Each structure stands twice: as structure tokens, then as C-alpha cells.
Amino acid sequence: MKIALINGSPKGKNSASHTLLEDVKEYLGQRADVATYLCNTPVISQENIEKLVQADAWVFAYPLYVDGIPGHLLSCLSLLEQARIQKPQICVYGIVNCGFYEGEQADLALKILQNWCKKTGFAWGGGIGVGGGGGLDMMPKMESGKGPKAPIEKSMEELANAILKKKTRDNEYVSVAMPRFLYQMGAQMGWRQQIRANGGKVRDLRRKGS
Amino acid sequence: MKLIITDIENFSIPVEGEYKVISPKGDIRCCIGCFGCWVKTPGRCVLLDGYQDTGIEMGKCTELILVSRCYYGSVSPFVKMVQDRAISYIHPDFVMRKGEMHHKRRYQNVITLSSHLYGENITEDEKETARALLQANADNYDGVVKSVSFYPSVEQLEDIVL
């Protein structure tokens, strides 16, 4: 079975989308022929389209941007629609990570991909909305079932098993294993560290552009 | 002021009152996810291609009007790229709203949002997604939804006044 993992983050390998796809890849292990693709610009090459057509399943991972799919990835999806690929057996899965705590906020970004499947004729396999995605790429890999990423890793494992069986599932939502207030506190400390590192002051965070 | 973001290059729809139009003029760069508009040049996008000030314009508007081809229930890639590049309208810190995490306000204006989506064969699923999407935008901007309208072709927009 050939599986295409498609990273739709503009940040490429330095992204939560990459981290999540690496988890899926690890769980797929040797049971499939896995190839990774990057969709970080509004254009997808003809060469990559031809390679994608050979796959049995496409797994898109992308960040939630303004409640939906990032503009550049939307452009790639449109180009894939225009390519008129006649392979309804290709099963499409979606993983959306969002900076908000609640994975449910990724719901519409999954629905848009689902609507795209209906338009293009591909099979929709289901998606996962991942909450608390802000720090995922910085979280260390821990022993299985341990640490704040544990529930997310478990859902990636379940997704990997569903992909191998070409199973269709309902969309699911998951979040980091930490209280919401702690996640919020961590994120807000991060913004303050970053603005200071850039030579600014904390009060600059609320500056109005002019 | 009404702020109109549209993918129509030669935008000529009549608009009542004061307004500003952001439409395709030269290439737009997509958001690179750097959060520079929050932590480097707060309020303004760091990519200087003519589309870096949308967040500031949003801070001045009373209405945000999206006029776009409908893509799978979303706005078009161009309109979405403009929106993606304008997250500086909001503050990076979080607040709870309707029981969910959202971003704090940077500006005090309350935006009324509407979208006018055109395209052949917009499905019922896409319409449902588009309505929910504008409501989600309103929740994140801490604004309110005015309307979501659909048109079977771009020509049908000639009869409306924004």
C-alpha cells in the first residue's frame, strides 16, 4: 500500500504538522510504502501530482489558519481539482492542528477538505482536529502513553491503523494532556519571551499598527 | 469605513459610504507562520508586498465584506491569504469566549462581517460550511455576522450594492 503524507504547513519540517505526520509515519512502520510531500507554497508541481496519483491514501496535515485551511494549501487543493485525477479509490485523511486548546475548533478546516473530496471524487476517510498544537513541535518524545502529547500520539496511532485498513471514520478531536489554564499560561509566556528576544517590550504586544 | 476583501481584479460593485478595497494587485505572499506580526512588528505583517497592513485596516473598519469565489465552503485562496496575513488584528493572548479559547482584542472596533460568495454549483454542504466559517471568523474577531449570500456566477454580483 502506498501512502502519501502531505505537509501543508508553510514552516515545513519546523512545524506541528511535520511532528504529527512523523508520528503517523512511525505507527505505519514497515507496513506501507510511505512518501512525504511538502505543500508550503500556492503551487504544487506536476511532478508531485504525478507521484501523488500513484498513492492509495493521502494524509494532509496542516495548521488552522483563521478558522480554515491556509490560503496556499487551498490553492494547491484547487490545482489538484483542476488536474482532474480520476481515482475515486484514493482515500483522503486530514489532520488539523490548532493553537487553541480545543481540537473541535479545527472542525471547519476538516469540513472544507471533506467538501473538496466530494468535488474531486476522492473518498473521505476522516480527520482529526488537534488542539493545543502551539507547542507540539517543541515537546520532547516520551515513553509511549506518557507526557502531554500522549492522547495525540494515541489518536495518530489509531489513524495509522485506519489508513492501513482504508477505513472511514468520523472526525475526531483531541487535545494536549494538560489543563487549559496551563496551556494558556505557557503560550502567553512564550509570546513575552519572543517579543523580548526581538528587542521589544511586553507592552509592545498590544501595540496598534499605524 | 467598509473594508472589502475581494478576488475580483477589476472590482466595480457599487458601495455605499466610505470604503477601501483590497483586491489582487501583483503577487501576494502567503503567511509563513512566523508570528512576526505579533512579536516583531506588532500590528503589521513582516512580508512587505503591499498586503502587510490589512490588520491595521481592519482596526479602522466597521464592516468587513468578503467578496469571493466559493472554494469548498471557504473563500478563495487570494482572499484567504489576505485574511491569513491579517491576524495582527487580534492580540496573541487568549481569552475565553462562548466557552472556547479565542484571541484577545487589539482594537476596540466591533466588526460586522458579511460574505458574498459566487460560483457555479455551490453545494448545500459548502453553503453550510461557509455560513459556519463566517460565524467562526466573527467569534475570533469578536464581531458579529450580518449576512452570507451566494450567487451562481460573478455576473450576478453586478446587481448588488454593498
Q: Are residues A197 and A113 in the same domain?
A: no
- All residues of chain A having their beta carbon less than 8 Å from the beta carbon of residue B78 are 71
pLDDT of residue A136: 81
Q: Are residues A87 and A150 in the same domain?
A: yes
* Share above pLDDT 90 across residues of chain B, in percent, rounded to a whole number: 98
Amino acid identity for residue A74 in this structure: L
pLDDT of residue A68: 98
Q: Are residues A155 and A110 in the same domain?
A: yes
Could you say which DSSP state residue B98 is in? T
Give the structural domain span for A167.
Answer: 2-178
For residue A122, what are the contacts with CB-CB under 8 A and spacing of at least 6? Answer: A58, A85, A87, A88, A90, A91, A92
Q: Are residues A108 and A203 in the same domain?
A: no
Contact state of A205 with B91 under an 8 Å Cβ cutoff = yes
pLDDT > 90? residue A110: yes
Q: Are residues A47 and A82 in the same domain?
A: yes
Tally of structural domains, chain A = 2
**CB-based contacts of A78-87 (< 8 A; 24+ apart in sequence):** A78/B71, A78/B77, A79/A43, A79/A44, A79/A49, A80/A44, A80/A49, A80/A52, A80/A120, A81/A116, A81/A119, A81/A120, A83/A49, A85/A49, A85/A52, A85/A53, A85/A120, A85/A122, A86/A121, A87/A53, A87/A122
**CB of B147 within 8 A of CB of B114?**
yes
pLDDT > 90? residue A141: no
Question: Between B30, B53, B72, which is nearest A119 by CB?
Answer: B72
For residue A44, what are the contacts with CB-CB under 8 A and spacing of at least 6? Answer: A76, A79, A80
Across A73-77, A142-146, B97-101, B112-116, least confident range: A142-146
With CA atoms as reference, report the closest residue to A148 among A190, A174, A176. Answer: A176
Q: Are residues A69 and A110 in the same domain?
A: yes
pLDDT of residue A129: 98
Amino acid identity for residue B74 in this structure: S
Q: Are residues A155 and A103 in the same domain?
A: yes
- Res. A144 pLDDT band, cuts 50 70 90: confident
* B2-156 topology per CATH: Rossmann fold (3.40.50)
Q: Tell me the average pLDDT of chain B.
A: 97
The whole-angstrom separation of Cα A113 and Cα A131 is: 18
pLDDT of residue B78: 98
Contact state of A112 with B72 under an 8 Å Cβ cutoff = yes
Compute the average pLDDT of residues B119-130.
97
Could you say which DSSP state residue B55 is in? H
pLDDT of residue B26: 87
Domain boundaries, chain B: 2-156
Q: Tell me the average pLDDT of chain A.
A: 94
Compute the average pLDDT of residues B109-125.
97
Q: Are residues A83 and A147 in the same domain?
A: yes
- Is B129 within 8 Å of chain A by CB? yes
Query: Closest chain B residue to A16 measured between Cα atoms?
Result: B33
- Res. A189 pLDDT band, cuts 50 70 90: very high
